[in-house]
């Protein structure tokens, strides 16, 4: 029997607000962080909703700027444009609204701002997510440069405030909402075999996994059900529960994530859809090739907690089909002869995962 041991440090998140009309607490969050000069940061689709207007109404003259040009996968050019405004206007608080692209952009801006000043104060982020991707809870961000994902990490870039207001997600397109739920499921599943994940993080991941399996079909059938959407936001929170570790201890999350990042920005595949393509097949790879008994036991526990038939890989595949999210690399015109290069790049830094590059390449070929 393996003895349970490890360590854990909470992230720099100071306050999480959740519930319908949670956005009403935004002024108190800004005050908590000492914010005097805020900038809204979002993409064009979010900018066409009422949420940025609500933020301006709540914060009044505190909002100095409004940057609404963040594109999918957070292109570095967009990040640099926003950073130049932050510096020119002495912005001290970013209000990031939207999914992973806007929130990752905000985190990257904070990283660049603070690292060039060798100062951990001066600029903070409040995240108002409208998807289930959970980018708001990590100390890592990814931007795209020349069709490649580039990651940065630091303890001080994690948003200090988060508002999970399900009413603000009602404008999110259903396919984006559901696929971001599979992204959260990807977080939960890969936490089960992620190196350095503490015991309680894995238990939280199992709770998230169960809720995602239970609630995603309900939100598909009843998209206006705010209570279900609220529970899904909390499941997303548990799927990637805040965890602060030294940058030296950070490792790539898992093969499904790394493959998703390699193909996402390179071939224009949305974040959540990459998980729909990769996750079930990567879990099958672990089921068939992994020899670690602890990982086997965790995957079996996950299989049983869903109360569905079949192994975990089959359950995930079935859920994706129920949600009408089935996709392939062929759908996004990824050349078949790129599979080996994707496999090679995806394994870098993962350490001993119990299978070979050839195994991964064959799995990627099955994603077509």
Q: What would the pLDDT profile of 47-71 be if each residue is shown by its tens digit?
A: 999 999 999 999 999 999 999 999 9
CA distance 261 to 282: 14
Instruction: Clarify whether residues 188 and 123 are in a common domain.
Output: no
Q: Where are the beta strands (DSSP E) in the chain?
A: 15-18, 38-41, 63-67, 93-98, 124-129, 140-145, 148-153, 161-164
- pLDDT score of 148: 66
Instruction: Clarify whether residues 202 and 283 are in a common domain.
Output: yes
> Across-strand partners of 145?
148
Residue ranges, the chain, pLDDT below 70: 1, 118-121, 146-149, 245-252, 349
Instruction: Clarify whether residues 278 and 156 are in a common domain.
Output: no
Instruction: Clarify whether residues 318 and 290 are in a common domain.
Output: yes
pTM: 0.94
Query: Which of 150, 169, 188 is the last residue in one of the domains?
Result: 169
CA distance 239 to 133: 9
Domain enclosing residue 92, as ranges: 15-169
- pLDDT score of 245: 62
Question: What pairing do the DSSP bridges indicate for beta strands 140-145 and 124-129?
Answer: unpaired
Q: Do the domain assignments include residue 3?
A: no
Q: Do the domain assignments include residue 29?
A: yes
- pLDDT score of 250: 57
Which CATH number characterizes residue 195's domain?
A: 1.20.1090.10
DSSP-assigned states of every residue in 294-317: HHHHHHHHHHHHTT-SS-HHHHHH
Residue pair 212/181 in contact (Cβ under 8 Å)? The answer is: yes
- pLDDT score of 169: 98
Instruction: Clarify whether residues 22 and 119 are in a common domain.
Output: yes
- pLDDT score of 349: 66
């Amino acid at each position: 029997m393996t003895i349970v041991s490890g360590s854990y440090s909470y992230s720099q998140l100071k306050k999480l607000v959740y519930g319908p009309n949670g956005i009403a607490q935004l002024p108190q969050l800004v005050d908590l962080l000492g914010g005097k000069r805020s900038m809204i940061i979002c993409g064009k689709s979010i900018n066409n909703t009422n949420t940025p207007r609500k933020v301006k109404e709540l914060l009044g003259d505190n909002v100095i700027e409004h940057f609404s040009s963040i594109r999918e996968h957070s292109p570095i050019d967009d990040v640099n444009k926003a950073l130049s405004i932050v510096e020119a206007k002495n912005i001290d608080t970013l209000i990031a609204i939207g999914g992973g692209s806007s929130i990752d952009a905000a985190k990257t801006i904070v990283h660049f701002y603070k690292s060039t000043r060798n100062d951990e104060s001066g600029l903070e982020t409040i995240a108002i997510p409208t998807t289930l991707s959970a980018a708001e809870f990590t100390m890592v961000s990814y931007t795209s440069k020349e069709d490649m994902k580039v990651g940065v990490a630091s303890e001080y870039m994690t948003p200090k405030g988060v508002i999970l207001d399900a009413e603000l997600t009602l404008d999110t397109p259903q396919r984006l909402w559901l696929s971001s739920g599979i992204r959260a499921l990807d977080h939960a599943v890969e936490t089960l075999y992620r190196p350095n994940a503490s015991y309680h993080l894995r238990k939280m991941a199992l709770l998230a996994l169960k809720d995602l399996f239970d609630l995603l079909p309900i939100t598909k059938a009843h998209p206006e059900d705010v209570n279900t959407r609220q529970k899904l936001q909390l499941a997303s929170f548990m799927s990637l529960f805040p965890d602060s570790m030294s940058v030296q201890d950070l490792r790539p999350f898992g093969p499904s994530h790394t493959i998703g990042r390699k193909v996402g920005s390179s071939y224009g595949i949305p974040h959540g859809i990459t998980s729909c393509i990769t996750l079930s097949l990567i879990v099958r790879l672990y089921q068939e090739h992994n020899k670690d008994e602890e990982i086997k036991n965790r995957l079996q526990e996950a299989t049983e907690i869903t109360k569905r038939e079949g192994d975990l890989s089959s359950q995930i595949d079935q859920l994706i089909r129920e949600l009408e999210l089935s996709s392939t690399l062929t759908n996004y015109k990824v050349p078949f002869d790129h599979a080996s290069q994707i496999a090679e790049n995806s394994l870098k830094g993962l350490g001993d995962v119990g299978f070979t590059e050839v195994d991964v390449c064959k799995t990627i070929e099955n994603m077509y």
